[in-house]
Amino acid sequence: MWVLSFAHQQNLLLFCTRNLHKSVSVTRVGSQFAYYHVTAFLESSSSSIKPLVKRRRRLTDELQDREGSFRSKTWKNETPVLQKPNQRRGDDSRMSSELRKLCLEDFPSDRERPVRQSPTQDSKSEEWEIVFGISPCLLALTQGRRKARKLFVKDGEASHRASVLKVCEEANGRGIQVHRVSKKDLDKMSSGGVHQGVCLQASPLSYLTENKDSANKRKHNTVPLWLVLEGIQDPMNLGAILRSAYFLGVDRVASSLHHSCPLSPVVSKASSGVMEVMGVYGYENLEEMLRSKVEQGWQVVGTVGAEAEESQIPVTKCSDFQMTKPTLLLMGGEGEGLSRELLPLCQTLLTIPAGRELFPGVESLNVSVATGILLHSLLFSRKSTRRSRP
């Protein structure tokens, strides 16, 4: 029987381990094989090194536990990935092929599909804008004036509302991708607007030109009324004006292209989607357009406040005015009113009388409210005139 000192035992163990590792692949499984043979060799050598053998067995058991976890991952064809400092758990790079397949089965290509990339980043983002709100998105899809690209819907119970499902069905029927995103993403896309859980990425709308008037035909037996806007800069006001004009039956809305707000998604939301239905015509020179209409027999009607200064142009209460021929109603911008260039073209100035004595500073109405009142008065007089004819 061999009698070895502790130093000799350590040297012998180191020698055997090195020789075995030359012939065994240096992997975790191979390391387990090497430790097994080293232990067997020491057991057959001497009983004096049994404490050392027991220690090696404990190390072997720990290695087996680790290797069991390693083999389970290997059998699942999933290579362990070291997590980066900024990488969140559940990232797509750690997702197995089976889990990816399951996600695709839950969200097939012809239905809603989850977003796997940032919803607000596109290579050509300048060609698209975000329409937000249920009515604007639904009308943008159904009217076909925009080219829709993607629909973003808030994930959760809100996506099961009937109004939201209707928007999703319209997008799905037109082959438009539907993505479920968080409320935070929708808030960012709509710049904090009231999106109602729906945003649509689509091409922008612009003002129409005169040569696209083929679809805007006059109704039979009615006197036409055009609403002409000069310098409306607040998108909320413009949206409210469009909504009133469409509801009351205005034949056309025209606007100056200079010093006026664009037809933005904010305008569409403020109009409750009317901007998607009713085209707004833009003119480089409103004065030239008005003079041309006057030559064709149209009358130009302007607006003025209740306490306006005396003018050579007759001032009439809106309730007393009768619209008997084609009319252009001019509305000036916030604060400034009609410009000096357009005011002389008016044959009549309409005013809305106040119902009480007003305090200084609140003698006027918001331009969108005033427009709604005047449009209702003029269009009601048009109907009354038509009914009174024999």
- Of 227, 214, 218, 241, the residue nearest 290 (C-alpha): 227
pLDDT at residue 114, rounded to an integer:
38
Sign of CA dihedral 298, 302, 333, 264: negative
Which residues in 35-51 are b (16+ Cβ under 10 Å) and which e? beebbeebeebeeebee
- Of 151, 258, 152, 140, nearest to 204 by C-alpha is 140
Candidates 8, 21, 15; CA nearest to 49 is 8
Supply the DSSP string of 324-337, one letter for each residue.
Answer: -S-EEEEEPBTTTB
**DSSP-H helix ranges across the chain:** 6-23, 28-45, 50-75, 97-106, 134-143, 162-173, 183-189, 235-248, 265-270, 286-295, 367-388
Question: Exposure of 159 by Cβ count < 10 A (0-12 exposed, 13-18 middle, 19+ buried)?
Answer: middle
What's the pLDDT at 127?
87
- Taking the C-alpha atoms of residue 254 and residue 286, their distance in angstroms, rounded to an integer, is 9
Output the pLDDT for position 55. Answer: 58
DSSP string covering 181-222, please?
E-HHHHHHHTTT---TTEEEEEPPP--B-GGGGGG-PPPTT-
User: What distance lies between CA 128 and its chain's CA centroid?
Assistant: 10
How is residue 277 annotated by DSSP? T
Q: How far from the centroid of its chain's Cα atoms is residue 210's Cα?
A: 31
Would you state the pLDDT for residue 113? 39
Task: pLDDT tens for the chain, 390 residues: list them.
Answer: 444 555 555 565 555 555 544 444 444 444 444 444 444 444 444 454 555 555 556 655 655 555 555 444 444 443 333 344 444 444 444 444 443 333 333 333 333 333 344 444 444 555 899 999 999 999 999 999 999 999 999 988 767 789 999 999 999 999 999 999 999 999 999 999 999 999 999 999 999 998 744 445 555 568 999 999 999 999 999 999 999 999 999 999 999 998 899 999 999 999 999 999 999 999 999 999 999 999 999 999 999 876 555 678 889 999 999 999 999 999 998 877 899 899 999 999 999 988 888 887 777 789 999 999 999 999 988 865 555 554
